[in-house]
Amino acid sequence: MDSILSIIKSLDYKGIIAEYVLHNLADIAFKKVKDFIDDENELLRRSGSDLVFSLESSEETIIKQIVFNVKKANNWCNNVSFKDAPESKSLNQVYVGLDYYVSPKRLRIENLEDSKLPFNSLLENIKYNTVVLGGPGAGKTTLMKFLCYRVLNEKLYENIFTCPVVIRFRELRIPKKISDINDYNLYSILKNELGIIVNSENSFSVNQSVFDSKYRQILKRIIVDFIEEAKLLIILDGYDEIPNPKVKQIIKKDLEELSLSLDNSKFVLTSRTGDFDINISNSATYEVCSLSKDQIKLFAERWLIDKQEAEDLYSQIMGSPFFDTVIRPLTLAHLCAIYERYKKIPAKPKSVYNRVVQLLLEDWDSQRDIERISSYASFEVDRKIEFLSKLSYILTTRFNTAIFNRYDLESAYRAICQDFNLPVSQMRKVINEIESHNGLFIQSGIESYEFAHKSIQEFLAAKYIVGLPEIPSNFDLLKNIANEIAIAVAISSDPNMYLGVLLLHKIKKPSYSPVFFKILFSRLLIEKPDYNDKPIFFVALANIHFIINSSENLQKFNPFELEDINSLIFNLLEEVVVKKSIKRFSKLYKYTGVGSSYDTFIYSFAGKNVSLGERNYLPYSLLVNEVSYKYINAHN
C-alpha cells in the first residue's frame, strides 16, 4: 500500500488529493469489482458451469495505469500547437470560452431564434452525460483540453469527480482482423485505459459463443462498477475520428448503454456534427457557436499579449473580405500565428482562401494524424476541390442564395455527379460525408444546407469559373456573380488579361449594370490581384469609363452610382504596376485626334512587340473621355 501511495503522490497536479484517490480506487472501487467477480463465479458454480472469472490486475497495477494516463492527459491539456505557430501556447493563456447552442443546428426550426448557453454554464454544470458537436476547427478538442486542465489544476468538480480519464479516439489502433474488431468496443478501450485485466477459464464444456457473450457481459459490469465507484469524468474526444465504420457503430451502441448505466460518473463526448446522428438517452447535446466579434478580439489579445498588436490584427481582420472565415477558432488561431511571425495577415485574400480550404480538407487532419474514410476517399485533395468548386458554382448560379434545401442539393448533385463518377443513388451519403469530413459545407437546419463561409463559397465558385474553357458571356448569369468574377480575376494566372477580356468582349453595352460594376470593382480593390503591366487592363477600364459616362448611359446610372463607379475605376488605376500598363499603352496606341464630340479623344493601335494572344483582344481604336485623356498624359 505504501508503494501505491508514493505513486499517487508523485503525480504533480493540484486537483486530486492523493489519499482521496487511493481511498476511492483501492479501497472501494477495487473491492467492489472483486466482490462482483466472486458473486458471479458463485452463481456460475451453482448453475453447474465450469466457467471461472478472475481479476488479474492488482490495486497497484490499476493505480499505476490511471496515474500514467492522468499524467499524459495533464501534458496534453496544457498547450495548443500547430505548424503555423512559431511555438506552442499555454492553453490557459489563450483560451476563450465559447457559447453553445442548446440543440444541434441541424435540428433548428427555421425563423426561430437559437437558444444559447454561456460557456461557464456548460462547463460548470455537468449534470448529465454531455455531447459537444461542432464543425472542423470549431474548438471541440480545445474545450476538452480546457475541461481537463481545470479538473486537474483548479479543483473543478473536486467533490464530484475523482479525476479525468481521457480517451482520444484518433489514437485508437484498430485490429485488422474482422474477428478482433467484433471484440473491439468502448468497454475494451476503457479496460485498457484503466489497467483492468480480467481472465477466464473455460474447460470447453461451454459453447464458445456463449462463453464470449458471458465474458463481454462480465467485462461491462466490471468496467461500469469500477467507473461508478471511482467517480471518474470520462473525456471522449473525436467520435468522428474513429477510422473504422464498424467500430464506430459498435461504440455508438456502447455509448447509449453506458449513458444509462452511469450515475456517479459522467462522460463528455465530442464529434463533428455531420458524423453524429444519434440521440443518446440520459445526455445533453450542445453545438459550438461561432466566435463573436468580442471573442475574436479577446482571442487576439490573449494570443499576442501586446494589446496594440491585438488591436492592429483585429482591425486587419475586420477590414478583410475573409472575416467570416475567422469565426472559427482554428482559422483565427492560424491568422494569429501568421501575424505573430510577420506582423500582418496575408494581403492577398486568395492566400487565405487557399489556406482555409487546404486546412479544412486535409492539413488539419494530417497535422493531427487523421485519415478519414469516405465514399469519395479515392479523390485527392485537388479532385475534392474540383468537386466542391463545381457544386458551389451550380448552387450559386442556379439558386442565387447562400442557403439551400434538400431539393436544391439533389438537383445540383445530379448535375455534376457523373463528371466525378459518383453514383446518383449516393447523393445523400456523399453530401453527408462532405459535411462531416471537411466542414466547408454544413447542414444548418432541418433540410437546409449552406457553405460554412460565404467567402469560401465565392472562392470555390470562382475556381470553377477560372477553369472554364472561356469566360461566361451571359450577363443574366454574370450580374449575380460579381463577387465570384472578381475573385476569378484575382486567382487567374493573368489578371490583366482576364479582366480585359471580360470587360472588352464578354459584357455587351446594353447589359451594363451599375450594381454589377460597383460590386466587381469594389471586390477587386479588396482582392488585390497580382496585376502585371499588360495594357489591356487600362484599355478595358478606360473603355468602361468612357461608356458609362456617355450621354446614353447618364439616365441609366444615377449621379451617386456614377460617382462611386468612377472613383472605384481610378482607385484601381492607382496600383503601381497598373500605372506601368498606362506607359505601355502609350507605346502601343497613338493619339489620333478628337472625335465627333468635343470631349471624345481617339487613340489608334499602332504598336509592335505585343503578344499575339494579347493583340487579338485589343481594340484597333479606343475612345476615351477628357478625364481619361488627362490621366493618360499625367502618367507619361
DSSP letters of 617-634? TS-SEEEEEHHHHHHHHH
Q: Is residue 625 part of a domain?
A: yes
Distance, CA of 381 to CA of 194 (rounded, Å): 39
Q: How many domains does the chain have?
A: 4
- Max CA pair span of the chain: 115
Q: What pairs with residue 52 in β-bridges? A: 201
Whether 58 and 178 map to the same domain: the answer is yes
Phi, psi of 130 (to 5 degrees): -125, 135
Distance, CA of 488 to CA of 465 (rounded, Å): 7
pTM of the model as a whole:
0.68
The string of pLDDT tens digits covering residues 401-414 is: 777 888 888 889 89
Q: Is residue 599 part of a domain?
A: yes
Distance, CA of 623 to CA of 636 (rounded, Å): 18
The three-state secondary structure class of 183 is coil
Helices (H), 400-513: 406-416, 427-438, 454-467, 475-478, 482-491, 495-501
Neighbours of 106 (CB within 10 A): 20
Question: What is the H or E stretch that residue 122 is in?
Answer: helix 119-124
**8 A C-beta contact, residue 610 and residue 588:** yes
> What parts of the chain have a pLDDT lower than 50?
1-5, 8-9, 14-19, 111-112, 364, 367, 373
Whether 531 and 402 map to the same domain: the answer is no
Whether 78 and 204 map to the same domain: the answer is yes
| CA 453 vs CA 22, 466, 524: distances in Å | 50, 20, 19
| CA 547 vs CA 49, 464, 525, 586: distances in Å | 97, 30, 21, 21
- What confidence score (pLDDT) does residue 108 get? 58
163: CATH: 3.40.50.300
Which residue from 502, 497, 495, 492 is spatially nearest to 472, judged by alpha carbons?
A: 502
Strands laid side by side in the 600-605 sheet: 589-594, 600-605, 621-625
Neighbours of 279 (CB within 10 A): 11
Whether 178 and 90 map to the same domain: the answer is yes
Distance, CA of 353 to CA of 365 (rounded, Å): 18
Angle ∠(10,16,17) on CA atoms, nearest 5: 80
Distance, CA of 404 to CA of 399 (rounded, Å): 8
Whether 36 and 83 map to the same domain: the answer is yes
Whether 131 and 277 map to the same domain: the answer is yes
Neighbours of 324 (CB within 10 A): 17
**8 A C-beta contact, residue 432 and residue 245:** no
Whether 612 and 496 map to the same domain: the answer is yes
**8 A C-beta contact, residue 165 and residue 233:** yes
Buried b (16+ CB within 10 A) or exposed e, 436-465: bbbbbbbbbbeebbbbbbbbbbbbbbbbbb
Range of the domain at 419: 381-457
Q: Is residue 372 part of a domain?
A: no
Whether 532 and 590 map to the same domain: the answer is yes
Buried b (16+ CB within 10 A) or exposed e, 5-41: eebbeebeeebbebeebbebbbeebbebbeebbeebb
Cell numbers for 60: 497497484
391: CATH: 1.10.10
Q: Is residue 472 part of a domain?
A: no
Whether 136 and 271 map to the same domain: the answer is yes
Question: Could you tell me which residues come within 8 angstroms of residue 488 by beta carbon, excluding any fewer than 6 positions away?
Answer: 462, 463, 465, 466, 498
Dihedral angle, C-alpha 374, 375, 379, 385, nearest 10 °: -70
The three-state secondary structure class of 168 is strand
Whether 387 and 339 map to the same domain: the answer is no
Q: Is 619 exposed, middle or buried (0-12, 13-18, 19+ CB in 10 A)?
A: middle
Whether 319 and 276 map to the same domain: the answer is no
Q: Is residue 376 part of a domain?
A: no
Q: Is residue 524 part of a domain?
A: yes
Q: Is residue 217 part of a domain?
A: yes
Distance, CA of 146 to CA of 5 (rounded, Å): 28
Cell numbers for 174: 484498430
Whether 426 and 353 map to the same domain: the answer is no
Q: Is residue 23 part of a domain?
A: yes
Distance, CA of 317 to CA of 326 (rounded, Å): 8
